[in-house]
Amino acid sequence: MVPDSIPETSEDWRTILSDINKIIMPGVTHWQSPNFHAYYPTASSYPSIVGEMLSAGFSVIGFSWICSPACTELEVVVMDWLAKFFNLPQHFLHSAHGPGGEQAVKRVKKEHPEWSESDIRGKLIAYSSDQSNSCVEKAGLLAAVPFKLLPTDSDCVLRGHHIKAALEKDQAEGLIPIICIANVGTTGTCAFDEVESLGPVCQSNNIWFHVDAAYAGAGFAIEEYSHLRKGLELVDSLNFNLHKFLMVNFDCAAMWIRDANLVVDSFNVDRIYLKHQYEALGLVCFRLKGDNDLNSSLIKKITDNKKIYMVQGKYKDTIFIRFCVCGMDPQEKDVDFAWKEIQDQSEIVINEAEDMLNGNYIQKNMNIVEEMEGIDEPYEEEFIPKS
C-alpha cells in the first residue's frame, strides 16, 4: 500500500512503476476499456499527451495576457479555429466585439432605482429542463439564484412554449427571469432541447440564453447533423467538452460568449494581491521618493524593457512596487541583475521628470514674456521650483 507519510528517500523508476501496477491500477476505473459503457466517452491521443507535456514543461500561469502573452493569444486563435470548425455563428469569433455592459442586476436597478440590490437579487429566477445535468443546479446554488427545472414533453425535450408559460407565471408574481439553459445531448437521455423555439422567447424577454452542448456539440462540425445548429444565432453563450469526441484528454472544455465583455465586467476585481501566488515568500516592497505618477512610470519602464518583470501594489492611496523572488533556484546574481535594472530605469525616469519640470519652468517664463510685451514697467520673473 501507499505509505501513510511522505517518503524521505527517493525510489528508482522501476520501483515506482511497479507500485503503480500493483497499487494504483487495480483501483482505476478504465474509461478506455472496450467494456466501459457508463457516462459518456472520454478520449486521448498522442498529440494530446504531447501537448500536456509541453504545457507542464512551460509551467506558467496564464490567467491574464501580461502573465503569459502566448497563452492568451494561442487560446484566442484555437478558439476561433474551433468556432469555424463547428460552423458557429460569426459573433462567437474573437474578432466580433460586443458593446460590453452590465448584467441583470444593473439593468433592473436602472429600470427600478427604488429597489435595493438585495431586493433585486431576491427576485431572480433561472430556468432549465428536468433533464439537465446536476451541475446546472449546483451553478444556481453557487450564484444564489434558484433554478426551475421545467418538465419536458414525452420526448424529453424542452420547447419554447414550456419556458414561455413559466416566464409569464413568474413575471406575474414579481420575479425577474435572468437565464435559460438549453441542452444539446443531455446526460441522462441524450435529449435535444428545441433551441430554435427557445431562443426567440429568451430574446423577447431579455434573458440570457445558454446552450449546454457538453456531449453532442461535436456534431456541429458534421454536415449531416447541421440541423443541430438551428437557433444558435440567438444563443448568448454555449459550451461543449472536447475531451468526449475530439481525442483530447480530460479536462478540456470550450465555451463561447456572444459578448465576452459582459463576463469580463462582471468578474473584474482589480486587486493586485489576488493576481499572484507568492505574496509572503521573499517579498520586498519599495517605491521612488516622489508621487504615484513617478512610481507608475518606473514600473512601466521596467515592464517595457522586458529584462525583469514586477508588478505594482497599492496601500490606501500610495502606489509601490513589489519585488518577489519567485524562481525555484534563485541565485544572488539574479537579484543583482534585477537591482541593476531597477537602478538604470529609475535614473531614466528621474531624468525625464526633471527635464519635464525644467521644460515647464522655461515655458512658463516664455508665456510671461509674451504677456509683458508692450508694457514699459519692469517686472519680476516668477520662479517655479522643480519640486
Q: Catalytic residues, which ones? A: 133
Q: How far apart are CA 145 and CA 181, in angstroms?
A: 13
Do 323 and 338 contact (CB within 8 A), yes or no?
Answer: yes
Q: Who contacts 302 (Cβ-Cβ below 8 Å, separation ≥6)? A: 308, 309, 310, 341, 342, 345
- Can you give the C-alpha Rg of the chain in angstroms? 30
Residue type, 161: H
CA 381, 382, 383, 384 torsion-angle sign: negative
Q: Cell 507519510 belongs to which residue?
A: 5
Sheet holding 311-315, edge to edge: 283-286, 318-324, 311-315
Q: Who contacts 211 (Cβ-Cβ below 8 Å, separation ≥6)? A: 181, 182, 183, 184, 195, 232, 235, 237, 238, 239
Q: Which residues of 147-178 are buried (b: 16+ CB within 10 A; e: fewer)?
A: bbbbebeeebbbbbebbbebbeebeeeebbbb
Q: Cell 455563428 belongs to which residue?
A: 89
Q: Cell 424529453 belongs to which residue?
A: 156
Query: Which residues are 269's β-sheet partners?
Result: none
Question: Using the 8-state DSSP alphabet, how is residue 7 labeled?
Answer: -
| Ramachandran quadrant class, 330 (left: phi over 0; alpha: psi -120 to 50; beta: rest) | beta
Question: Using the 8-state DSSP alphabet, how is residue 257 labeled?
Answer: E
Question: Using the 8-state DSSP alphabet, how is residue 220 labeled?
Answer: G
